[in-house]
Structure 1
C-alpha cells in the first residue's frame, strides 16, 4: 500500500511539473500534460520494477560480497598480525639462542684455551724437570768419570813420581808401615 501511495505522489509531482509546460493541447479528450505525467510515471514504474529491482539486488549482492571480502580481509589481517607476532617472537627467541650459543662458545673457548695453557705449562714443567734430571744425572756421571780419571791419573803420577824418587830403603819403610797397619785388622777378624 505504501508503494502505491508513493507512485501516486510521483504522479502528482510530475503532473504539477507537466502543467507548468502546458500549451493547452488535448489528445483523446485528456490534456497533454496529464499524458506526459502518466507516461513518465509508467516509465519510471517500469524502470524501477524491471531494472531497479535487479540492479538493487545486484548492488545488494555486491555490497554483501564486498562486506564478505572486507570481513575476510580483516580476518586475514588479524591472522597476519598474529603470524607477525609469532614470527617476531620466534625471531627474538632465535636471536636469544644465538646470543646464548655465542656466549657459551666464547666461554667454552676461553675455558679450552685456559685448559690448553695449563696443560702446556704442566708439560713444559715436566720437560724442564726431565731435562734437569738428565743434566743432574749426566753431571753426576761426568763427576764420577772425572774423579775416577783424576784418581787414576793422580795415582799414576804418584807412582811414577815415587818410582823415580823412592829408594829401596823408602820402599821397605812404606811396606813395613802397610804391614803394621794391617795387623790390627787381622787380630779383630
Structure 2
C-alpha cells in the first residue's frame, strides 16, 4: 500500500490534484470538514457548487460524488461526496464504500494523480471510525486505484491511531 498515506493534518492545506470533501446533499457547506473546505476555498467554491444541477432536490445523493473547481485551495478540484448517516441506513458500509469509489473514479476520470481524503461520515454522521477506516482502506487498495497517491488527512492523534491500526491490519 505504498500509494496510501495517513497523516494528522488539515486537509485544506493539501497540495494535491483533488481534495475530497465530506459534503452534505446540498453541497453548500456545513460543519466539520465541509465547512473548513468551504471557508478555505472562498466564495468561488460555493459558486461552483450552486452550478451543480439538483436532482430530486439534491446536488449530490448519499453514496455519490460530484466534482467542482477548488477555489483558493492548492488543488485543481474538490470532489464532493456524501457518506451515510450511520444510524439511518440499513447497510451504511455499502453507502460509505460507494462514496469512496465514486470519488476516486471521478479523480481518475479527471486525470488526477494525487488525492486528499477525509474520514468520510466519521463526524456528525456518526460512523464509527474503526469501521469506516476498514471500509475506506478496502476501497483504496483496489487495483484500479493503484495509480493514485491517496493521503488521508485525519483530525487528531486519536483518529490517526485508529486509522493506523486498520491500515496495519490490512497489510
> TM-score scaled by structure 2?
0.15
Q: Which has the larger radius of gyration?
A: 1
> TM-score scaled by structure 1?
0.14
Higher helix share: 1
Tell me which of the two structures has the higher relative contact order, counting C-alpha pairs closer than 8 angstroms and 6 or more residues apart.
Answer: 2
